[in-house]
Amino acid sequence: MSLRLGDDAPNFQAKTTAGDIDFYEYLGNSWGILFSHPADYTPVCTTELGRTALLNEEFAKRNVKVLAVSVDPLDKHFGWVNDINETQNCTVNFPIIADEDKKVATLYDMIHPNASATATVRSLFVIGPDKKVKLMITYPASTGRNFHEVLRVIDSLQLTANYSVATPANWEGGEDVIVVPAVSTEDAIKKFPKGVKVIKPYLRYTPQPNID
């Protein structure tokens, strides 16, 4: 059965460019991103891993650990990393799984036979510190991911995990958020001292609560 939001993220052990890992141990108490790539030495994947490496500080300040997966072997990964570093002006400093037996790809349903019988689609999973699946995004092999959107979603997930709020369409960090329906307006006024703006009884905005 396919994974769904809120499910436990399957644990696994794997060989990576950073040595053997246990996924849960690697994550520890951090958030995690697990994302798949159709193959090494492919152009879109090269730009994606380069972009991820260049965003290392952004992921670190959000307490997010990144882990990539490809069904190619380790020796191929190491050669590819050299190409990524050279062409994308970066240093790839996160592990890339050598998933030759497709164990991880199968656990996370990354191979879609109608798209390709052998290559993974561009699946991306955000895993919470509780090891639950918080987000799933799947792109076709031909479309590179938007990592600004990945960071935006992580900001939303981390905010909404700790406060009784949701984020509206096109929300960016620092903008007003929505009070969730489970909180009454009376309680919201007490809970959010920066103020509550009532548009409709079910649509109430408040300034982002975790910034000054």
Which tokens sit at 37? Answer: 């790539």
Task: Compute the distance between CA of residue 180 and CA of residue 171 in angstroms, rounded to an integer.
Answer: 15
DSSP-derived 3-state class of residue 138: strand
Residue count of the chain: 212
45 is catalytic: yes
Catalytic residue among 9, 27, 45, 121: 45
CA–CA separation, 5 and 14 (whole Å):
23
Please tell me the distance from the alpha carbon of residue 12 to that of residue 194, in angstroms, as a whole number: 44
Separation CA 182–CA 162 (nearest Å): 15
**DSSP for 90-135?**
----S-EEE-TT-HHHHHTT---TTT-SSSPPEEEEEE-TTSBEEE
Indicate which residues carry an active-site annotation: 45
